[in-house]
Structure 1
Amino acid sequence: MKKIFLIFLFLISSLFSKNINLNEKEINYLKEKKTITMCVDPDWEPFEKINKEGFHEGIAADLIKLISEKLKIKIKLIYTTNWDESILFSKEKKCDILSFLNDTQKRREWLTFTDVLFEDPNVLVGRVERKYIEDISKENLSIALPKETAMAERFAKDFPNLTIIPTDSEDEAFKLVEEQKADLTLRSMIVTAYTIKKNGIFNLKIIGEPKGYENNLRIGVRKDEPILRDILNKAINKITKKDIDNIINKYVTIVIEKTTTFTVALWILATLLIAVFIILLWNYMLNKKVKNEIKKNQKQQQQLIEQKRKAEIGELLGNISHQWKNGLTQISSLNLEMILMYELKEDFINNEAFYDRLKDTENSIKFMIDTMNTFLNYYKEENHFSEFNIKNNINEVLKLVDIEIKNSKIDIKIIENFPLKISANKNEWMHIWLNLFTNCIKISKIRNIEIPKIEILINEKNIIFRDNCEGFKKDILKTILNNEQKGLGLKMSSKILEKNDWGIIIENSKTGAKITLFDKK
């Protein structure tokens, strides 16, 4: 008899709950309860509201109605004027459930919560001119939030950097932002889309989406009736995604359609492939054109460099010819003197003064040979690197421009604070010094510098070249710093330094130009 009774109860239970498996205790609870009382947020469109006729409507209302139908039990609305009053009625047990709210520690003092009934991300809303906010914790702004809401509670705790402005409703929060009385507000994605469209508030926009602050909306149940929570959970678990989508589509126009046909997928794939092919072809043609232009520019640049080099060689040959003239004049003079002494049959073998003349002549010949060797080394193309001393490298260049230096009366001082040696192409570095010396000589003549001076400081990691020739003009210095100068000298020097992992800083000092070469390593 007992078994028959249990089977009978099970059949009644199945019929009564439309496939919701309630146990005997839960069935008896619903029979005795007959009506579940409910408080809601009377002004929270499109989730829920109490209309002028006193009826509950919105997304939450439709979901509650669905639960009511599945459980075959009446859920009665308890009228309230605002959310604060609904919270108060819930605390005073005037209603068994709160329809749609987030689970918070504070609310657990008098409520227990069902499983998630509805998920919706919260978004930050601000005026259209405000930039997107990546991290709200780094902003010192004011935010309008409705009182007694889960997000107001969490934001006050998690973001002490924000100034929270409490409001009586979400519409009021929107209005404060619209009127620039608050910087932003937080609202669910669905409510935001609904409100902006409904009220035509197009000067507001979504400016952020804080992670971890989504709305996981549940039904809040009186803490002293956990059985009701368990019954509601069984009904919630029977609600399908299709049920929820159908309800949402009644209230908002944000519809996410994920289904597509195989043909549409093929068309999309074909379009993407064509687009990729066009982009690849365009990139190939563009790269080819760029390479040709680079090759053309390199050829032109090489021609200009060769022209510059030939001009330098012409100048150096002029310097060497002057130096050789002096030496040849001295040798010729000594030769004439020897002829004369021979004709006069004088004893020049034991003549001490004549011996000194011979030594001077020998030095002149040696100087001429050194000068020519230096010139030949400079002109010779070298690709190999060798270790050399910077001071010696500079002195070799000074031999090439010795005549110009003497004619210009330039005082050159080399201060070697460190015996700097580098491994590089020695001839290329000679070009750097030659360019600096010739530029200084030319500008000292143009500006009529009375006592032109050059000072070179050789340190462990840098070489500083300074002169007293009044420096670069502002417009010329600007073109040099922007790498727009027409002259090749500094461009070539910069390229040589860059190749050797050195840098160059060009600036003006109080008295003239200051050029710093520095090791980047």
Structure 2
Amino acid sequence: MKSIVTHRRPAGPTGWGRVRIAAILVGVFLFAVRSATAEPVALSPDEKAYLAVHGPVTLCVDPDWVPFESINARGEHEGIAADLLRLVARRTGVVFDLVPTRDWDESLEASKDGRCQVLSFLNKTPARDEWLLFTEPIFNDSNVFITREEHPFIDDPAGLAGESIVFPRGTSMEERVRAEYPNLGILTTDSEMDALSMVSDRKADMTMRSLIIAAYTIKKEGLFNLKIAGRLPNYANNLRLGVVGTQPVLRDILDKGVASITPQERGRIVNEHVAINVQTGLDKALVLKIGLAFALVAGLGLAWNYKLKKYNAELMRLSRTDLLTDLPNRRQVMARLDEELGRASRSHRPFSVIILDIDHFTAVNDRLGHQGGDRFLIAFARVLRETVRSCDLAGRIGGEEFLVLCPETDQGQAAQLAERIRAAVAGHAFEPGRRHSISAGVAALLPGETADALLCRADDALYRCKEGGRDKVCVL
């Protein structure tokens, strides 16, 4: 059972071909590496006293946001958010008391009037800052434009005239698009499914939704006249837990639980809810439909073929690239890690990894705001890309965490590279008048070692750096 709630109120073509087709359709994959079991987080005396005095924490969720979260017929919270919150609950000792609501709007209102202390899985916005405190992101997901098949690729939505975009009511993306793209006509509806259906039925020209939602819903509902038609790099979902503003201690407790969740655990959870289902949902009839569609498009002429190739190439790039930094994403890095481990084991050549973490990035976000924090990450990725060697692969594996794969590199050489990256970051002017630093954990492959074990040692080395004062390189 995937529910995290222990106190509940009464509820008012197989193989590679299949994977490749799924990538073209939805451009979303998360690769599960391992399932780590973490120890309970260390709470301060004040935090322990808070839990002892206050007891269960009331929680409101979106009751119909599959596969992120929903409330099932038994009144239980389930989905990706529920599984992540279950990890937070187990590691912090927080007991969540689910408050059922009819929809997300009611959950927001329940938070505003004090019936819910915590909201799950929401973006931080200026409007929500008025009554909520936010944890660091518990989950990151890209937003993309979804249109009908005949719609051209969207390079810049500011250049669209007379087109409409539909959102489920109360979303942060609606707030941002209203403010930044007044040329688009904004429509609202009751649910994710309604938004996609309105596009499919020509009642709206497009919607902007998450890659994961698109993957799940298009497959589940058979909306194969829809496609991914573009994305905005700074429009990612950085989903957090929102805590009422009067409860900063509770926010700090939950933040520690969020920080304890590893990228591998997030990958495993998403794979259970989305990736496997997407891959196994394709049958021969669907493959035939896709083949006929491509044949029809091919008949429209060379010009349209060229556009289609550009579009498909963009989708394939999106499936392998972190949309904010343009570095390889976690799925691509982990796939390359497996390849490099196999190559190093067969040739008996050295291989090392470096895990990098930006020190005190929470403070950067607090000073610069969400968009400023994104610009910081983009600049950091540029420094990283310019500093690593041509044989290395550097990618973003989560929040402010990055992984560098170092073929033909022993531990000492990898440590030297990590020091060079650290020096480059220290010497770069990310913010006027401020110096920034990183911590780095280095591990070299041991005979017979698995990818999980290698990453665990690098992660442990990173943890030693943080415990030892940060701004340093540690090896293990």
Report the TM-score, using the length of structure 2 for normalisation.
0.51
Q: Helix, strand or coil for the counterpart of 2:154?
A: coil
User: Where does the alignment leave 5 or more consecutive residues of structure 2 unmatched?
Assistant: 1-37, 280-330, 345-476
Q: Helix, strand or coil for the counterpart of 2:274?
A: coil
Q: Helix, strand or coil for the counterpart of 1:106?
A: helix
The structural deviation recorded for 1:44 is 0.5
State the one-letter code of the partner of 1:200.
G
Q: Residue 120 of structure 2 contacts residue 240 of structure 2 at CA under 8 Å; is this kept in 1?
A: yes
Instruction: Please say if 1:251 is aligned against 2:273.
Output: yes
Q: CA-to-partner distance for each residue in 1:134-162, whole Å, 9 max, x for gaps?
A: 11111121000111110001110010000
- Give the corresponding residue for 2:126: 105
Given candidates 56, 72, 75, the residue that maps to 1:35 is 56
Q: Distance in 2 between matches of 1:81 and 1:175?
A: 21
Superposition map of 1:61-76 within 5 A? 61-76=82-97
The structural deviation recorded for 1:52 is 1.2
Instruction: Please say if 1:193 is aligned against 2:215.
Output: yes
Given candidates 128, 153, 175, the residue that maps to 1:153 is 175
Q: Distance in 1 between matches of 2:178 and 2:343?
A: 47
Instruction: Please say if 1:218 is aligned against 2:205.
Output: no
Q: Helix, strand or coil for the counterpart of 1:38?
A: strand
Q: Distance in 2 between matches of 1:78 and 1:262?
A: 48
The structural deviation recorded for 1:73 is 2.6
User: Structure 1 residues 265, 183: CA separation in 2 closer, same or farther (over 3 Å shift)?
Assistant: farther
Superposition map of 1:325-364 within 5 A? none
Instruction: Please say if 1:261 is aligned against 2:339.
Output: yes
Q: Distance in 2 between matches of 1:101 and 1:261?
A: 36
State the one-letter code of the partner of 1:62.
D
- Give the corresponding residue for 1:242: 264
Q: Distance in 2 between matches of 1:73 and 1:167?
A: 34
User: Structure 1 residues 136, 55: CA separation in 2 closer, same or farther (over 3 Å shift)?
Assistant: same
State the one-letter code of the partner of 1:158.
E
- Give the corresponding residue for 1:51: 72
Superposition map of 1:497-516 within 5 A? none
Q: Residue 18 of structure 1 contacts residue 71 of structure 1 at CA under 8 Å; is this kept in 2?
A: no
Q: Helix, strand or coil for the counterpart of 2:167?
A: strand
State the one-letter code of the partner of 1:233.
D
Q: Distance in 1 between matches of 2:274 and 2:154?
A: 25
User: Where does the alignment leave 5 or more consecutive residues of structure 1 unmatched?
Assistant: 1-16, 267-521
The structural deviation recorded for 1:198 is 1.0
Q: Helix, strand or coil for the counterpart of 1:182?
A: coil
State the one-letter code of the partner of 1:150.
S
The structural deviation recorded for 1:96 is 0.5
Q: Distance in 2 between matches of 1:262 and 1:233?
A: 35
Q: CA-to-partner distance for each residue in 1:19-50, whole Å, 9 max, x for gaps?
A: 41211111100111220110000011110001
Greater relative contact order: 1 or 2 (C-alpha under 8 angstroms, separation 6 or more)?
2
Given candidates 120, 145, 168, the residue that maps to 2:141 is 120
State the one-letter code of the partner of 2:229.
I
Q: Residue 40 of structure 1 contacts residue 99 of structure 1 at CA under 8 Å; is this kept in 2?
A: yes
Instruction: Please say if 1:230 is aligned against 2:308.
Output: no
Q: Distance in 1 between matches of 2:83 and 2:197?
A: 28
- Aligned-pair RMSD on alpha carbons? 2.0
- Give the corresponding residue for 2:435: none
Q: Distance in 1 between matches of 2:242 and 2:40?
A: 24
State the one-letter code of the partner of 2:76.
F
User: Structure 1 residues 264, 20: CA separation in 2 closer, same or farther (over 3 Å shift)?
Assistant: closer
Report the TM-score, using the length of structure 1 for normalisation.
0.47
Q: CA-to-partner distance for each residue in 1:491-511, whole Å, 9 max, x for gaps?
A: xxxxxxxxxxxxxxxxxxxxx
The structural deviation recorded for 1:209 is 0.7
Q: Residue 115 of structure 1 contacts residue 233 of structure 1 at CA under 8 Å; is this kept in 2?
A: yes
Q: Distance in 2 between matches of 1:30 and 1:189?
A: 36
State the one-letter code of the partner of 1:82.
D
The structural deviation recorded for 1:263 is 8.2
State the one-letter code of the partner of 2:52.
K
Percent of aligned pairs sharing the same letter: 44
Q: Based on CA coordinates, which of the two structures has the bigger radius of gyration?
A: 1
Superposition map of 1:288-327 within 5 A? none
The structural deviation recorded for 1:261 is 3.4
